[in-house]
């Protein structure tokens, strides 16, 4: 009991700390545990972009940015703790980079009026802004990913994949189960055979799944993996000599950390993407100048330019642009979470904007509205070149089966609305 | 000086055998209860409740449950996470099937269902002991998690395989869902924790508890003096699982609100609760509270000190936490195998004599 009161006193002092008028973008990161390999570069990119804005532009619209980091370890309990401990600081938007934590936070953040941006993850039906007023998942979601992967296979096979066997290797969690509905629907239209191979958390044990793949010889393997599961899966695929060019990961399963451990044999592995890859963007000169050279880079500073780093930077860029939009709408640099939500809902990303930021052609052009929190859902495909050590875009951003996805989104969000007594609407 | 019996005269057996026979100790206990019931609810905010009080109270119930089984009856169990999952899923099914029933009833029924499942998995304990029983309960852990992942009926066929707690109330006050008041969830869990602790304390003092301890200390001798191992072991499994099930139900419905079985109720949870009772003290109700408080508060305290005060990188602090918890477990096992509860007992003895130790 003594211990308890001592720590309470400690925490009480902390809770009473001053609330500064900064723009607060909490980073619920994970630099430890089985998902660290994927979490570190994203967190670095997220932090570095805001550091760049602070150093180069003096923040957003004159207001300084603060990025308090909180370690979640991809664990929902710690995620809740992180959310509760940072929301009092005036958090503008949460990007937990975990589907599990996103599910956890959707009701909580909605009740607190703080927006969530689950970029390319989280609850897909949050794309329906009429039901999920405070949740955004632009510019692409899991169902776009599933449909994009199938579209790519259709392209490769002259629009006919009837009778082809496709295996889905997925993380046995809310995250990995997301694409199943869509794939099952697409299976009906396109007539391929779908095999489901769940991999349990944390994903280090996949022998039996790959044994099954070896036995059944599916024509294609699609993967919904994360963290250490990606590395193990690619290594196992190499071990059974599965043809790498028939192995496609979702965008969360396609970074350098996933393929490098398998060495040269991983050459040809493919992954989906919804943004540009590589370091070939003008913004990297600024990052070098203002962030790296001044010694302010987050983490070890060795992740710059990797796929997940780019994605973290992209997430930060979208958040910063939304904050700018919010400042314009409300005419004050000092925005709060409610204003931030308005900014996110009015966000418009154009090519000119991206070019001005030093990220020409980095992502799709899109415009968020109340009805559409999900963005355009354009999906490209990248391929790993083991010799050069780079990801190359081999298929440009293409639209997905939006008709099907909108129908599924409408169904799922209607169920959520009914469950939680939400009156869908834009006011 | 403190904790003195001098001057306290007890004239009835009832007075003599009460839980806190020393007046000072009793007043201290009433004081803690008073603060917990009458002061804290008016002071807490979301952060305090969700980061500290709810996990502490809920883990305390789980630790009490496991302590009955491991500490009092001597049956090692690694299935705590699985039994918590049973409580959580039972509560979820009840909540969705009977939305108008009070949350109190749902949580208690979830405990009852878990007790049944616990008895089922306790059956092997009649034949096997020690490590082998630990392995059998480990099987329960993995089987239950697999079951809840595999059979869609348990999660009402939701696409994500997660269970989400809908809004439910008791006496018109919201207990689950995002729009709850901090004090309401706190008081709700506090009631369960206090009642569980009182029940457990009295069970372990009575004939049931003595039978458990006889089985723990030497089962053959216990059988010879007339303890039925069947009823003693199975009742330990049932009552232990009942508490663990209640904690699982609260953990899901009140604390987290959404749960994924593999992640929330995995083997890590079983170990966490086991560490709580090892650090807190096997065979002690106070030890269950101390262990739960320790393992819930330590990470938060380390984070506050390391990240917020000293400004260390978050990953260093997270790793440091693993190191410290691991080291503490070893230290406790070597230096004080009876845990914090024993330290507390020793402190009390010292205080009793202070300031004239001779």
Q: Give per-residue pLDDT as tens, A184-217.
A: 999 999 999 999 999 988 888 899 999 999 999 9
B256:A108 CB<8 A:
no
**Helix, strand and coil in chain A, % to nearest 5:** 50, 15, 35
A85: nearest CB among B47, B257, B260:
B47
Average pLDDT rounded to a whole number, residues B222-234 = 92
Shared domain check, A350 and A204:
no
Per-residue confidence at A13, pLDDT binned at 50, 70, 90? very low
Confidence (pLDDT) at A224: 93
Shared domain check, A385 and A239:
yes
CA nearest A201: which of A76, A348, A309? A76
Facing residues of A169 across strands? A197, A223
Confidence (pLDDT) at A18: 42
**B337-354 tens-digit pLDDT:** 888 889 888 888 888 787
End-to-end CA distance of chain B: 13
Find residues 103-132 of chain A whose CB sits inside 8 Å of chain B. Answer: 103-104, 107-108, 110-112, 123
Shared domain check, A79 and A51:
yes
A174 chain-B contacts, CB cut-off 8 A? 160-162, 260
- How far is residue B17's CA from residue A112's CA, in Å, rounded to a whole number? 50
Residue A163 has pLDDT above 50, yes or no: yes
Residue A20 has pLDDT above 60, yes or no: no
ipTM rounded to 2 decimals: 0.84
Question: Per this entry, what is the length of chain B?
Answer: 358
- How far is residue A35's CA from residue A37's CA, in Å, rounded to a whole number? 6
Shared domain check, A214 and A231:
yes
Average pLDDT rounded to a whole number, residues B228-240 = 93
Find residues 342-371 of chain A whose CB sits inside 8 Å of chain B. Answer: none
**B240-250 tens-digit pLDDT:** 999 999 999 99
Average pLDDT rounded to a whole number, residues B278-303 = 90
A100:B260 CB<8 A:
yes
Shared domain check, A253 and A146:
yes
Beta carbons of A93 and A27 less than 8 angstroms apart? no
B263:A173 CB<8 A:
yes
B50:A69 CB<8 A:
no
Closest-CA distance, B215 to chain A, in angstroms, reads: 31
Helices within A53-167 (DSSP H only): 76-87, 99-112, 142-156
A292's CB contacts (< 8 A; 6+ apart) are A301, A304
Q: Which fold has domain B21-353?
A: ABC transporter involved in vitamin B12 uptake, BtuC (1.10.3470)
Closest-CA distance, A387 to chain B, in angstroms, reads: 32
Phi-psi region of B342 (alpha: psi -120 to 50; beta: other; left: phi over 0): alpha
Confidence (pLDDT) at B216: 92
A93's CB contacts (< 8 A; 6+ apart) are A25, A114, A115, A116, A117, A319, A322, A337, A340, A344
CA nearest B138: which of B200, B203, B83? B83
Domain presence at residue A385? yes
Which residue of B lies nearest to A202 if distances are taken between CA atoms?
B263
The alpha carbon dihedral of B148, B151, B155, B158 has a sign of: positive
Closest-CA distance, A348 to chain B, in angstroms, reads: 30
Confidence (pLDDT) at A11: 46
**A295-337 tens-digit pLDDT:** 888 888 888 889 999 999 999 999 999 999 999 999 888 899 9
Domain presence at residue A251? yes
Phi-psi region of B258 (alpha: psi -120 to 50; beta: other; left: phi over 0): beta
> Residue A90 to residues A54, A62, A87, A320, A334: CA-CA distances in angstroms?
18, 17, 6, 16, 11
Confidence (pLDDT) at A15: 45
Residue A2 has pLDDT above 90, yes or no: no
Confidence (pLDDT) at B358: 67
Q: Residue B104: how many CB atoms within 10 A of its CB?
A: 14
Beta carbons of B85 and B267 less than 8 angstroms apart? no
* Probe site for chain B from A18, A80, A99, A176 (most B CB atoms < 10 A): A80
Q: SS3 of A346, please?
A: coil
Confidence (pLDDT) at A239: 92
Confidence (pLDDT) at A52: 93
Beta carbons of A396 and A381 less than 8 angstroms apart? no
A36's CB contacts (< 8 A; 6+ apart) are A30, A227, B315
- Tell me the HSE value of A289 on the side-chain side, using a 13 A CA sphere: 8
Shared domain check, A360 and A342:
yes
Beta carbons of A224 and A196 less than 8 angstroms apart? no
Residue A424 has pLDDT above 60, yes or no: yes
Residue A10 has pLDDT above 60, yes or no: no
The helix-helix angle for B103-122 and B130-150 (nearest 10°) equals 130
| CATH code assigned at A318 | 3.40.50.2300
CA angle B159, A26, A44 (to 5 degrees): 90
Q: What are phi and psi of B337, to 5 degrees?
A: -60, -20
Beta carbons of B162 and B260 less than 8 angstroms apart? yes
Average pLDDT rounded to a whole number, residues B92-96 = 92
* Probe site for chain B from A91, A107, A224 (most B CB atoms < 10 A): A107
Confidence (pLDDT) at A53: 93
Q: SS3 of B31, please?
A: helix
**B148-189 tens-digit pLDDT:** 988 989 988 887 788 888 888 888 888 888 888 889 999 999
Residue A21 has pLDDT above 80, yes or no: no
B257:A108 CB<8 A:
yes
Phi-psi region of B121 (alpha: psi -120 to 50; beta: other; left: phi over 0): alpha
Return the residue matching tokens 């992640």: B263
A31:B256 CB<8 A:
no
Burial class (CB in 10 A: 0-12, 13-18, 19+), B351: middle
Confidence (pLDDT) at A325: 93
- The token pair that represents B25 in the structure block: 């100790």
Residue B237 has pLDDT above 90, yes or no: yes
Domain presence at residue A79? yes
Confidence (pLDDT) at A282: 92
Confidence (pLDDT) at B234: 94
Shared domain check, A239 and A228:
yes
CA angle A317, A322, A328 (to 5 degrees): 130
A4:B305 CB<8 A:
no
Q: What are phi and psi of A193, to 5 degrees?
A: -100, 130
| Residue B132 DSSP class | H
Q: Give kind and range of the element (H or E) at residue B314.
A: helix B314-335
Q: SS3 of A43, please?
A: helix
Return the residue matching tokens 């009740």: A111
Shared domain check, A383 and A364:
no
Q: SS3 of B243, please?
A: helix
* Probe site for chain B from A173, A205, A416 (most B CB atoms < 10 A): A173
Confidence (pLDDT) at A242: 93
- Which domain, by its residues, includes A247? 142-273+378-401
Beta carbons of A197 and A209 less than 8 angstroms apart? yes
Give the predicted TM-score (pTM) of the model.
0.89
Beta carbons of A370 and A426 less than 8 angstroms apart? yes
- How far is residue B87's CA from residue B247's CA, in Å, rounded to a whole number? 7
Domain presence at residue A199? yes
Burial B112-140 (b: 16+ CB within 10 A, else e): ebbbebbbebbebbeeeeeeebbebbbeb
Closest-CA distance, B106 to chain A, in angstroms, reads: 19
Q: Which residue has the higher pLDDT, A229 or B351?
A: A229
**B99-121 tens-digit pLDDT:** 888 999 999 999 999 999 999 99
Question: Per this entry, what is the length of chain A?
Answer: 427
Using CA atoms in the order A205, A208, A213, A214, what is the torsion angle rounded to 10 degrees? 110
Largest CA distance in chain A: 71
CA nearest A62: which of A363, A334, A318, A403? A334
A36 chain-B contacts, CB cut-off 8 A? 315
- How far is residue A83's CA from residue A56's CA, in Å, rounded to a whole number? 29
Residue A8 has pLDDT above 70, yes or no: no
Map out the domains of chain B as residue ranges. Answer: 21-353
Q: Total domain count for chain A? A: 2
A420:B167 CB<8 A:
yes
B161: nearest CB among A10, A69, A177:
A177
**B13-39 tens-digit pLDDT:** 888 888 887 888 888 889 999 999 889
Shared domain check, A247 and A388:
yes
Distance of CA A372 to the CA centre of its chain: 18
CA angle A283, A35, A134 (to 5 degrees): 65
**A247-297 tens-digit pLDDT:** 999 999 988 999 999 989 999 999 999 998 888 899 999 999 999 999 888
- The token pair that represents A241 in the structure block: 């000599």
Confidence (pLDDT) at B165: 86
Cis peptide before B355 (omega within 30 of 0): yes
Shared domain check, A393 and A339:
no
Closest-CA distance, B9 to chain A, in angstroms, reads: 29
Q: What are phi and psi of A22, to 5 degrees?
A: -85, 165
Question: A5-12: long-range contacts (C-beta < 8 A, 24 or more apart)?
Answer: A7/B297, A7/B298, A7/B300, A7/B301, A7/B304, A8/B52, A10/B301, A10/B304, A10/B305, A11/B52, A11/B300, A11/B301, A11/B304
Beta carbons of A233 and A169 less than 8 angstroms apart? yes
B237's CB contacts (< 8 A; 6+ apart) are B69, B75, B118, B119, B121, B122, B125
A8 shares contact with chain B (CB less than 8 Å):
yes
Q: Give kind and range of the element (H or E) at residue B133.
A: helix B130-150
% residues pLDDT > 90 (chain B): 46
Confidence (pLDDT) at A14: 45
A71:B314 CB<8 A:
yes
Helices within A334-373 (DSSP H only): 337-345, 351-356
B164 chain-A contacts, CB cut-off 8 A? 103, 107, 419
Shared domain check, A205 and A157:
yes
Closest-CA distance, B42 to chain A, in angstroms, reads: 15
B263 chain-A contacts, CB cut-off 8 A? 75-76, 100, 173, 201
CA angle A360, A361, A362 (to 5 degrees): 90
User: What mean pLDDT value characterizes chain B?
Assistant: 89
């Amino acid at each position: 009991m003594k211990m308890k009161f001592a720590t309470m006193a400690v925490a009480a002092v902390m809770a009473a700390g001053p609330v500064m008028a900064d723009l607060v973008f909490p980073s619920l990161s994970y630099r430890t545990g089985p998902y660290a390999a994927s979490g570190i570069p994203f967190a670095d990119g997220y932090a570095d972009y805001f550091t760049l804005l602070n150093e180069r532009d003096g923040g957003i619209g004159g207001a300084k940015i603060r990025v308090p980091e909180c370690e979640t370890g991809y664990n929902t309990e710690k995620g809740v703790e992180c959310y509760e401990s940072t929301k009092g600081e005036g958090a503008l938007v949460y990007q937990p980079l975990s589907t599990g934590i996103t599910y956890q936070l959707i009701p909580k953040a909605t009740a607190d009026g703080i927006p969530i941006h689950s970029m390319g993850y989280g609850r897909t039906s949050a794309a329906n802004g009429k039901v999920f007023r405070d949740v955004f998942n632009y510019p692409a979601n899991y169902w776009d990913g599933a449909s994009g992967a199938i579209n790519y296979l259709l392209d490769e096979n002259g629009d006919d994949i009837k009778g082809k066997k496709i295996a889905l290797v997925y993380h046995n969690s809310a995250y990995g189960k997301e694409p199943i509905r869509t794939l099952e629907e697409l299976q009906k239209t396109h007539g391929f055979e779908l095999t489901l191979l769940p991999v349990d958390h944390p994903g280090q044990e996949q022998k039996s799944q790959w044994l099954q793949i070896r036995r059944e010889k599916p024509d294609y393997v699609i993967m919904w993996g994360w963290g250490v599961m990606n590395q193990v899966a690619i290594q196992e695929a190499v071990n059974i000599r599965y043809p790498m060019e028939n192995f496609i990961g979702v965008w969360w399963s396609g970074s350098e950390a996933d393929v490098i451990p398998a060495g040269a044999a991983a050459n040809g592995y493919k992954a989906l993407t919804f943004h540009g890859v590589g370091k070939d963007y003008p913004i990297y000169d600024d990052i070098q100048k203002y962030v790296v050279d001044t010694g302010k880079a987050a983490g070890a500073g060795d992740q710059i330019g990797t796929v997940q780093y780019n994605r973290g930077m992209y997430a930060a860029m979208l958040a910063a642009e939304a904050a700018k939009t919010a400042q314009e709408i409300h005419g004050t640099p000092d925005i709060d979470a409610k204003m931030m939500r308005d900014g996110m809902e009015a966000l418009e990303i154009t090519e000119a904007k991206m070019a001005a930021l030093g990220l020409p052609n980095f992502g799709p052009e899109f415009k968020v509205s109340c009805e559409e929190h999900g963005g355009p859902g354009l999906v490209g495909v990248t391929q790993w070149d083991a010799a050069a050590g780079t990801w190359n875009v081999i298929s440009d951003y293409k639209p997905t089966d939006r008709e099907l996805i909108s129908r599924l989104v409408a169904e799922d969000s209607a169920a959520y609305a009914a469950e939680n007594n939400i009156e869908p609407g834009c006011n | 000086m403190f904790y003195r019996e001098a001057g306290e005269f007890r004239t009835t057996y009832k007075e003599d055998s009460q839980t806190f026979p020393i007046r000072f100790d009793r007043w201290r206990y009433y004081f803690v209860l008073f603060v917990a019931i009458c002061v804290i609810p008016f002071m807490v905010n979301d952060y305090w409740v969700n980061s500290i009080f709810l996990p502490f109270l809920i883990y305390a119930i789980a630790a009490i449950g496991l302590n009955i089984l491991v500490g009092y009856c001597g049956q090692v169990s690694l299935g705590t996470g699985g039994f918590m999952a049973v409580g959580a899923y039972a509560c979820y099914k009840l909540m969705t099937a009977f939305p108008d029933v009070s949350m109190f009833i749902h949580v208690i029924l979830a405990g009852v269902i878990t007790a049944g499942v616990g008895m089922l998995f306790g059956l092997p304990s009649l034949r096997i002991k020690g490590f082998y029983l630990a392995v059998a309960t480990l099987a329960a852990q993995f089987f239950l998690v697999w079951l809840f992942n595999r059979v869609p009926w348990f999660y009402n066929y939701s696409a994500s395989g997660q269970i989400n707690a809908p809004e439910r109330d008791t006496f018109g006050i919201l207990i689950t869902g995002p729009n709850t008041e901090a004090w309401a969830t706190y008081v709700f869990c506090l009631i369960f924790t206090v009642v569980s602790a009182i029940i457990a304390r009295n069970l372990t003092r009575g004939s049931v508890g003595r039978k458990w301890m006889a089985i723990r200390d030497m089962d053959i001798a216990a059988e010879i003096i007339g303890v039925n191992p069947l009823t003693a072991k199975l009742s330990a499994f049932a009552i232990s699982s009942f508490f663990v099930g209640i904690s699982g139900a609260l953990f899901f419905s009140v604390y987290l609100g959404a749960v994924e079985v593999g992640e929330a109720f995995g083997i890590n949870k079983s170990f966490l609760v086991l560490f709580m009772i090892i650090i807190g003290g096997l065979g002690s109700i106070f030890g269950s509270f101390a262990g739960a408080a320790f393992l819930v508060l330590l990470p938060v305290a380390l984070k506050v000190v390391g990240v917020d005060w000293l400004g260390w990188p978050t990953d260093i602090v997270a790793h440091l936490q693993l190191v410290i918890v691991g080291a503490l477990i070893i230290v406790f096992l070597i230096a004080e195998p009876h845990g914090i509860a024993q330290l507390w007992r020793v402190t009390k003895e010292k205080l009793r004599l202070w300031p004239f130790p001779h």
